[in-house]
Amino acid sequence: MYGADGKWLHHDGVFLNHRDITFKENIWWSYALNESFASWYSDVSELADHLTPDHFPSGAVSDWKRGLIQTITTTFGDIPHQRCLAHVARHAAILLPKGSPFLATRRLRDIALFLRRIKTIDDMDEWKRALTVWGYQWGEMLTEKTKAPIGSTKKWWYTHGNLRRGWRLLTTDVDSFFVFLSVPGLPKTNNSLEGVNRNLKGKLGIHRGLTTAFQVSLLSWVMVFSRMKKYTDLRKLWDAWRRRS
């Protein structure tokens, strides 16, 4: 199973990481200015050149950015692609605060966070029913509008903008939430890559003040060493590095 995610270096670009989730191994990485289709495709197409068709992934998990979705489909075909539920729940928690004065917001937040606990088809059906009931009870709030004061550049805006965004988050591409239920071995979150990114962030924290070029170099070496499983492999790496130096 294939997973991909990016670690942003503030506003100075992004470190793209590709991981074999099944065997918990980092298999490719690079630096790009953004997470556009061009950036992801440049990376994944080069990775694919090192793989035979028999070794192409049988499934993927990602944070569902459009450029990455298109890249995976273009490169690996129509393989099962799971949307990371941890990303969805995290985004929903930001849009739908726990301390909101509106019961509708708090209830939709609970529904969003329940995504992470889904393990069976019955759980999925329960989640969909809860979302449908919410729509019947509070759906009118999604269309409420507030008139703009005199002199404003807008005539009106949606009263509950973040509630609308939260609802749209949970009702767009819903089938992508539950691919893992029908594909054995496909995880429902990108936590394997999240752990890698936390480690990279920690390394950058230790070495504060590095320029972007040195940050990329540091992270690349961290990724290289993450693949060294034996002392003999480590010795080969150092010997190759000395020869190039």
Q: Tell me the per-residue pLDDT of 106-151, one tens digit each, with 9 for 90 and over.
A: 999 999 999 999 999 999 999 999 999 999 999 999 999 999 888 7
Q: What is the pTM of this model?
A: 0.86
Average confidence (pLDDT) over 35-55: 91
> What residues make up the domain containing 127?
85-181
Both 77 and 102 in one domain: the answer is no
Both 75 and 194 in one domain: the answer is yes
Both 28 and 89 in one domain: the answer is no
Average confidence (pLDDT) over 61-68: 93
Both 219 and 171 in one domain: the answer is no
Q: Which of 149, 164, 181 is the last residue of a domain?
A: 181
Both 32 and 12 in one domain: the answer is yes
Q: What is the pLDDT of residue 245?
A: 60
Burial level of 218, CB count in 10 A (0-12/13-18/19+)? Answer: middle
Average confidence (pLDDT) over 182-190: 94
Sequential DSSP letters for 178-215: SGGGTSTT--SS-HHHHHHHHHHHHHHHHTTT--HHHH
The enclosing domain of 234 has a CATH number of 3.30.420.10
Q: Which of 135, 151, 181 is the last residue of a domain?
A: 181
Both 11 and 76 in one domain: the answer is yes
Average confidence (pLDDT) over 137-166: 91
Both 124 and 108 in one domain: the answer is yes
Both 164 and 239 in one domain: the answer is no
What is the distance between the alpha carbons of residues 139 and 48, in angstroms, rounded to a whole number? 45
Both 144 and 102 in one domain: the answer is yes
Both 196 and 77 in one domain: the answer is yes
> Under a CB-based contact definition with an 8 Å cutoff, are residues 69 and 81 in contact?
yes
Q: Tell me the per-residue pLDDT of 6-18, one tens digit each, with 9 for 90 and over.
A: 999 988 899 999 9
What is the distance between the alpha carbons of residues 180 and 178, in angstroms, rounded to a whole number? 5
Q: What is the pLDDT of residue 89?
A: 95
Q: Say how many domains are in the chain.
A: 2
Both 69 and 91 in one domain: the answer is no
Asked whether residue 57 carries a pLDDT value surpassing 90, the answer given is yes
> In this structure, how many other beta carbons lie within 10 angstroms of the beta carbon of residue 81?
21
Q: Which of 141, 161, 181 is the last residue of a domain?
A: 181
Both 39 and 18 in one domain: the answer is yes
